[in-house]
Structure 1
Amino acid sequence: MRQRMKVLMALVTVMFLLGLSACAKEKPKPRYPLPLGPSVSQAAQTLNNAGIMAYQSGQYTDAKSQFEQTVAKAPDSGEAHYNLGLVLYTLGDTESARDHFIEAANLAPGNQVIWDSPALRPFGSPDSNIPKKTKELGPSTRRPTFGGMGPRQ
């Protein structure tokens, strides 16, 4: 009898732990600035590297300045726009970040890091003219029912 109780308790514990681990959320992937492609000028590369170092050390306003200069030197670089969008997103300027993330995705169509970025996902559709779907609950003309028995006749 005692042995069965121990086995039963062990099974309950294992089931609880399995259930608990199944409910755990997946941690978001960390966001890192990207290096520029080899076709970009050396001046832009230097500015971008300085921005990456500032971003990684938590100096986001300095990183923003460096990445803005990088975008000015390399306006056709998707990675430069992504990096600027990333630091703007970190600083809370989500509207400007959205514009740079979309520009980065347009300029670097084959870059999976940019397209699959967790930073780009919350913004939904790249077309700003398409309204975001919102669930609005307006007034209802139906009378409430009791116990889910359906509408009154």
Structure 2
Amino acid sequence: MVINGWRTLSPHTRRCFEARLALLRHAGNEPFLRAQPLFLYPPDWIAANDALLEAELAHHIAGFPGAETMEKRIAAVAAYAPAAERLARLGETLVIATRDDFLVPCAASLDLAGPIPGPTSPRSDGAAMPATSPILRVSTASSSSFWRASPCKSASSCPSTTTAG
């Protein structure tokens, strides 16, 4: 299963990584960690869960692996670029792309799924957190109702999603 993945790093995702690294390098660990939810969760979820995020901050600060380790992790993730030939050899694979993920554009996940055999493209309304708005299911299995959804061929051909909140 892949959630909000990519085959080639999107310029948007690259900019997000650069912004996070600039915060880490020039503002420090705590501002870096305070900003992290902005890259991971939709605004309505953050607003509704601010107390939880504040309560978890001390835990994240205490367990922070250090700037050098974090820079290496971000570099490793940014360098991830699976070859189309390797993706084409995958077996049953579920690829989930969400419209409201701030870090990874939906089109990047659709591009990742392209070389994988047997794709179907359902659309489901909802929020990315926690990956409840899949628009793409890729599977070589005969089961076709993992999510009940209407088909779409790409992110741009799917009707826009609205969420309550």
Is the pair's TM-score, using the shorter chain for normalization, greater than 0.5?
no
Structure showing the higher strand proportion among its residues: 2
Question: Which category describes the TM-score, using the shorter chain as reference length?
Answer: under 0.3
TM-score normalized by the length of structure 1: 0.25
Structure showing the higher helix proportion among its residues: 1
Which structure would you say has the larger Rg?
1
Larger RCO, structure (CA 8 Å, separation 6 or more): 2
